[in-house]
Homo-oligomer: A and B are copies of this chain.
Amino acid sequence: MQVIQNKSQLREALKRARAGGKQVGFVPTMGYLHDGHAALIDRARRENDVVVVSVFVNPTQFGPNEDLAAYPRDADRDMALMRTHGVDLAFFPTVDELYPQGYTTYVSVDGPMTQTLCGRSRPGHFRGVATIVTKLFHLVAPDRAYFGQKDCQQVAVIQQMVRDLDFDVEIVACPTVREADGLAMSSRNVYLTAEQRAQAPGISRTLFAAREMVQKGERRAAVVSEYIKKSIVTIDSAAIDYVSIVDSKTLSDLELLSGEVLIAVAVKIGRTRLIDNIRFEV
């Protein structure tokens, strides 16, 4: 595995790696890799000749009062995991490499898709995501890029951006990987105290129960939403940011559940903001 910090070296390494029409799979990450990332890497490994993983805690997608400084980092552990999973190129750029002095260009996916769910609680977040993904796509020029469905809105926004801006890349959305007790894997889970960690699976349990409720016949979003809220407030030190029941493609609110439905929640447990979601056909 080649470990690269700067853009020109990355371009050169990719030029060589791509020679003869080799296909490139790309997994952009913020590091502190877990089994969710490993699943993306494994899939990229199966579907491409060359696998590139980037590790970059992107400052433009964090709000001023968010956890940019505290975000967990462990490059050595990340590289070990990448080697185990057969990554070819590991890209660890610095902030100055990607946002030099005088940087001023941003990509925005406007409209309802970025004004709902996390877009409402995190203004500017998806502009930061769209911008960094654009930059990384330009640097890596992948044939396929892999994203986890845990960040369901991110996947929808990136798919819209790729369609709108005519990027020549296939976006592959992969299922959320969960701990044995159902908690969605996230680098942020490390923030939880032992007590909070024990409570956190209440979020996914609630989502699974809500899905069952719908599968048994309930179609009114308000009723399902009310059930979820009541269930989550029973979790110790949990505060609901949002509970949303939306169309999985457009992310627009549903009153009656039909088609491919996405139920997404954001919950603060103590100071840690966790997101989770479940998607199913009604």
Contacts and interface: CB of A to CB of B under 8 A. Distances in A.
Given A134-B165, A138-B165, A108 B109 contact: no
Interface in A87-113: 98, 103-111, 113
Given A135-B166, A138-B168, A166-B138, A160 B105 contact: yes
- Categorize the interface residue count of chain A: 20 to 34
Contacts of A110: 104-106
Contacts of A243: none
B138 A105 contact: no
A11 B160 contact: no
Interface string A151-170: 00000000011001111100
Copy number in this complex? 2
A141 interface: yes
A164 B107 contact: no
Contact of A107 (B106, B160, B167): B106
A107, A110, A168 — which one has the most chain B CB atoms within 10 A of its CB? A107
Interface in A237-273: none
A161 B131 CA distance: 11
Interface in A112-144: 113, 130-131, 134-135, 138-139, 141
A131 B109 CA distance: 12
A108 B105 contact: yes
Contact of A161 (B7, B105, B141): B105
Contacts of A168: 11, 138-139, 141
A57 to B, nearest CB: 18
A111 B106 CA distance: 11
Contact of A104 (B11, B113, B135): B113
Nearest to A135: B166
Contacts of A134: 165
A103 B167 CA distance: 14
A104, A105, A131 — which one has the most chain B CB atoms within 10 A of its CB? A105
Contacts of A113: 104
A111 B107 contact: no
Interface of A: 7, 11, 98, 103-111, 113, 130-131, 134-135, 138-139, 141, 160-161, 164-168
17 contacts: A11-B168, A103-B164, A104-B110, A104-B111, A104-B113, A105-B107, A105-B108, A105-B109, A105-B110, A105-B164, A105-B165, A106-B108, A107-B107, A135-B166, A138-B168, A139-B166, A139-B168
Shortest 5 CB-CB contacts between residues of A and residues of B: A105-B164, A104-B111, A138-B166, A104-B110, A135-B166
